[in-house]
Each structure stands twice: as structure tokens, then as C-alpha cells.
């Protein structure tokens, strides 16, 4: 019995000694990243600025022409004075808000051909140069207005209209008042009734 036990112990010792010898001779297992090169140090100074990517895209190239520096509706001169323009606008004509008959014709172009009097509402018939008849009553405005200026150099132009003041048996009386000069008496025009005398037939 002692011989097999010694023989087993002998083989076990040899196996352990061989394993230790192999482990010592082979050395540590190399790492797969052992051959990798270390990363380069970060760049500093102007080289770092040159190597940094641009934060925004390059701006497009803009070409200027001579017309771009002239004043237009889209490009106005910031140093231009508009005082003269406002002065010219203040001189614009102020159109009357009244309802005016025959405002395209002067009073001299109108003919009085008929009168209706001795009624509560007297009427007169006028004929314009085109031959069209117009019936007017007291208080209506007629005829082309006269444009007058008021207020000096910075004033405005406004219109004065003729008003039917009276309708008499043989004529029509017109008056024109200037509201800007109430101290001045109103102007007066009289349109006489035009009667056509038939031509005599020769014997």
C-alpha cells in the first residue's frame, strides 16, 4: 500500500512543478491596446485658432452699384429735409364740400330762359353750353367756383361758390360770400332773363 501512495504523490509534485515553471516562463498576457500610440497633446497659440472650425458659414459676397447710392422710394436720404415738401402740401387746394350744380361752367356761360315766380318756391331754368336745362331754387350753389388764396406764403387755396339769393320776375340774383373775410360785403351777379324775339318775315 505504501508504494502506490508514494507514486501518486510523486506524479502530483511533478505536475505542480511543471505548471509553476510554465507560468513563470510565459510572463503576463499582453494587453490588446499596448501597441496603441498615445494621443497628441492639444495645440496651443495661433495654431489652435487656425485649426478651430468656423462657428458660422461664410457671408455671401455683396456687389454694390452706382444706383444703390441714389435716393429712391426704398432708399431715402436720412439727411434730406422735408420742410419744403410739407410747405407745398399746405398750399394744396381745399375743395368745397357743398353740392354745386353746373360746377364745370362759368356763370357767363349760362343762359336764363325761364322763371316761375309768385309761388312759395320760386324756380329758374338755366341752360348750359351743351343745351341741357337745369332748374334751380333759392339757396342752391351754381357755377364754376373761384379759387382764392388765404394765409400768406404758407396758406391754402379754397373755393368760393355762387349762391342763388333771389328769383325775381325778370332776373336771377346770385351772391358770393368769403367766409375768411366776413368784413367784406358779398359779391353780387345778376343774370337777366333772355327772351328770343322771333325774326320778322320779309313781305
C-alpha cell, 66: 452706382
In degrees and rounded to multiples of 5, residue 89 shows phi and psi of -65, -30
Nearest-Å Rg of the Cα atoms of the chain is 57
CATH numbers and ranges of domains, the chain: 91-192 (2.30.30.830)
pLDDT of residue 198: 47
C-alpha cell, 194: 333772355
For 85-130, how does the pLDDT look when each residue is reduced to its tens digit (9 = 90+)?
Answer: 555 554 555 666 789 999 999 999 999 999 999 999 999 999 999 9
C-alpha cell, 127: 341752360
pLDDT of residue 60: 77
Rounded to the nearest integer, the mean pLDDT of the chain is: 75
Predicted model pTM: 0.50
Longest Cα–Cα distance of the chain, Å, equals 195
Q: Is the dihedral of CA 127, 132, 138, 142 positive or negative?
A: negative
Q: Alpha-carbon distance 156 to 58, whole Å?
A: 57
For 129-163, how does the pLDDT look when each residue is reduced to its tens digit (9 = 90+)?
Answer: 999 999 999 999 999 999 887 777 767 788 899 99
Alpha helices in the chain (DSSP H): 2-26, 46-51, 83-90
Amino acid at each position: 500500500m505504501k508504494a502506490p501512495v508514494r507514486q501518486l504523490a510523486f506524479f502530483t509534485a511533478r505536475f505542480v512543478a511543471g505548471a509553476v515553471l510554465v507560468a513563470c516562463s510565459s510572463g503576463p498576457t499582453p494587453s490588446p491596446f499596448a501597441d496603441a500610440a498615445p494621443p497628441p497633446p492639444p495645440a496651443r497659440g495661433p495654431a489652435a485658432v487656425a485649426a478651430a472650425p468656423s462657428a458660422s458659414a461664410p457671408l455671401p459676397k455683396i456687389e454694390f452699384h452706382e444706383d444703390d447710392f441714389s435716393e429712391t422710394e426704398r432708399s431715402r436720404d436720412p439727411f434730406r429735409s422735408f420742410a419744403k415738401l410739407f410747405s407745398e402740401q399746405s398750399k394744396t387746394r381745399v375743395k368745397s364740400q357743398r353740392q354745386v350744380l353746373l360746377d364745370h361752367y362759368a356763370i357767363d356761360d349760362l343762359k336764363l330762359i325761364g322763371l316761375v315766380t309768385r309761388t312759395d318756391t320760386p324756380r329758374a331754368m338755366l341752360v348750359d353750353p351743351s343745351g341741357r336745362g337745369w332748374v334751380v331754387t333759392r339757396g342752391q350753389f351754381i357755377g364754376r367756383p373761384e379759387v382764392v388764396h388765404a394765409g400768406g406764403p404758407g396758406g391754402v387755396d379754397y373755393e368760393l361758390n355762387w349762391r342763388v339769393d333771389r328769383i325775381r320776375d325778370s332776373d336771377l340774383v346770385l351772391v358770393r360770400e368769403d367766409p375768411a373775410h366776413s368784413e367784406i360785403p358779398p359779391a353780387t351777379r345778376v343774370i337777366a332773363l333772355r327772351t328770343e324775339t322771333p325774326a320778322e318775315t320779309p313781305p
